[in-house]
Amino acid sequence: MNNRWQEKRRLLREYTAWIRVTLISARSMCVVRSAVRRGRFCASEPLRETYRLSWLALVVVVFTLPGCSRSDQFETARVHGTVTLDRKPYTQGGSVNFQPERSGKMATGQIESDGTYTLSTYSSGDGAIVGMHKVTVVPAPPVLDELNDRAPPPSSIPQKYRDPTESGLVFEVKPGQTNEFLIELKSD
């Protein structure tokens, strides 16, 4: 939460500095114009217009800054691990899904050919939301063998692991560390 406010303050300082530079530039142009006009004072209308535009920019920034925050994102921690089926790495592909028990976005990760996975929630590899999660494992969709015109074999992952209420897989993602989970599946 503190980081969000610090980020907002930093952006506000940057925009304020930009507005100051704009005002100084407008005044400098006024001075140059007045010198060219041989002592005539710079018309105040261009300066007023620049000043108005600068304040308008500041108002727009201040009111849109909260919309740029990541307030809808919860804290995440890195998560990776291995999926096994009957104590052997699951090598047929698919995905692992961590659904937070409280509100928040589900984390997903692809099961690699060696059975490992890395979770992502908001960006690649950022992990899962901190807290308790119900976990599901979904096999890769079957690929039809067009040459032999045969249906693909059914997935070896039991159906219960695809439903968060039936899988029985619950893990706690802890903050400030890399969480490693071994997801052990058993055939029916």
* Fold topology of 76-185: Immunoglobulin-like (2.60.40)
Instruction: Please write the tens of the pLDDT for every residue from 97-120.
Output: 999 998 899 999 999 999 999 999
Hey, where are the domains in the chain?
Answer: 2-68, 76-185
Instruction: Please write the tens of the pLDDT for every residue from 156-180.
Output: 889 999 999 999 999 999 999 999 9
pTM (2 d.p.): 0.60
Bridge partners of 116, per DSSP, are 82
